[in-house]
Chain A
């Protein structure tokens, strides 16, 4: 079953085309990574899927339901969640309160404590529940945000550079979290620059360039693609 599909998606700002004829499709249960050089349109594509930008033309489908005109919060309530590149948490509130706000839409207060504890254990923050979210390390803030995002019980999780600024250990732990979520049936779409990390998690990779889908395939196919290597991976010249 297709979880996310776009049809002839275009977006332009003041004449500058940032997404052109994007026909994207990913299956439920997939981990897909979006890669591409800076300015390729990855963030714009995310914002179009999230409803933060309205497309100039084209359509977006989530589980075969058209969501093109839905507002962001409505898309979240349909089953899409996001983790931003810069941790989107509530820094002056405790880790517990952060999770409470994420969960309270779906749970009664009396069953909340158990669910918060479970979610915090999943992202490895059980012993930080009483601390202010703003004082957590960068990696912990990223995990807290993942915990908050998955509390909405999404079917599709968007991750915008989930390992940005992380240590190698934190990156590896983040990969494990993502793979564990995927094993539970969650589809993942991630923008990522760290090719090592992409190799660790991706079932398929989509390469964007100048707002268009440039190539698509497994990580091995993408790494073997000479044009991709030339525009993005920077290895073609070495081979020649």
Chain B
């Protein structure tokens, strides 16, 4: 059977000819593929690189703030969009990592790479928390809407607990947890350097660091979702029963992806805390927990690129709404979610791609 007969959406075109990593970057589990997409990708990265040269410091810092959140969205896309497990509790891992970063850096400072230690420990704590919660969830066969309920409940319990830590007895070393007011005054990410360390306050250097991390994370996740591991995730989303009956221990896969996705939420938490030198329970509460769901659902949860673009767009729109409409912004966000779920359940970007394909086919038929 010739390969040319098989070529189609889900049939690899160059199996056996291209290096593994290239096939994995361009695999069927990612919407954007082919030379045109990659030209667009390089242009988008270049535009992001020159962006600080044309924008004021506030805008650059604000964009860096947006970048902080995208890691959590990509993690949720992995857990929900790719593996089919809706977690409503990603902000718990965000907060856990943020507080961990605060505790480490307020006790040990940021010199000698301690802020990077704080980052690693923060992400590590969120992974550990996800491992414990995920084990109970997945090995306890909790799935569907109950998974969302349990993860949200866990987040709300953690939020409520942190909100009552206002007293002076709630301190870890020199780090006061601060209750509802949160923890403040931790140092920013600081890169050890010859002569003097480089403190990355909200500004151009932090912007570039976050941009580099985001591009790296995005490319690594593309490779992951197009790997054998990613194939199994998608299979679990499509039909967990069949997947298990092909010999896969689906609970192990669900747990691993939950830990990876929650580690990314933790990364967002550390970066957010280091960016603003502040973390509080409000960054984990019900409203905060709902926002990642909206970013991911609106963009297109089943695709990393759609999630990335959707998150940045929705964050921008949401921020402008909060400036002009205060709490009405949440109402509009909720409305946006309902409209997308009803009319474009796959998300805006996959919906637009589908529409473009449909129009192209129609044009071809007419020609």
Q: Which residues of A contact B (CB under 8 A)?
A: 50, 71-73, 76-77, 81-82, 84, 88-97, 100-102, 104-105, 109-110, 112-113, 117, 120-121, 126-127, 129-132, 145, 148-149, 151-152
Contacts and interface: CB of A to CB of B under 8 A. Distances in A.
Contacts of A100: 231
Interface in B232-249: 232, 234-235, 238-239, 241-249
Contacts of A93: 10, 28, 234-235, 238
Contact of B10 (A71, A81, A97): A97
B103 interface: no
B244 A73 contact: yes
A90 B234 contact: yes
B5 A126 contact: yes
B238 A91 contact: yes
A90 B228 contact: no
Nearest to B238: A90
B88 to A, nearest CB: 24
A76 B245 contact: yes
Contacts of A127: 5
Given A50-B245, A101-B243, A92 B11 contact: no
A130 B246 contact: no
Nearest to B245: A82
A73 B1 CA distance: 32
Nearest to A112: B15
Contacts of B248: 73, 105
B153 to A, nearest CB: 28
A145 to B, nearest CB: 8
B16 A113 contact: yes
A90 B242 contact: yes
A90 B239 contact: yes
B247 A104 contact: no
B239 A88 contact: yes
Contacts of A132: 9-10
24 contacts: A76-B244, A76-B247, A77-B247, A84-B245, A88-B239, A90-B234, A90-B239, A94-B10, A94-B28, A95-B10, A96-B6, A100-B231, A105-B246, A109-B20, A113-B12, A113-B16, A117-B6, A120-B1, A126-B5, A126-B6, A132-B9, A148-B242, A149-B245, A152-B246
A89 B6 CA distance: 19
Nearest to A154: B247
Nearest to A91: B238
A95 B11 CA distance: 9
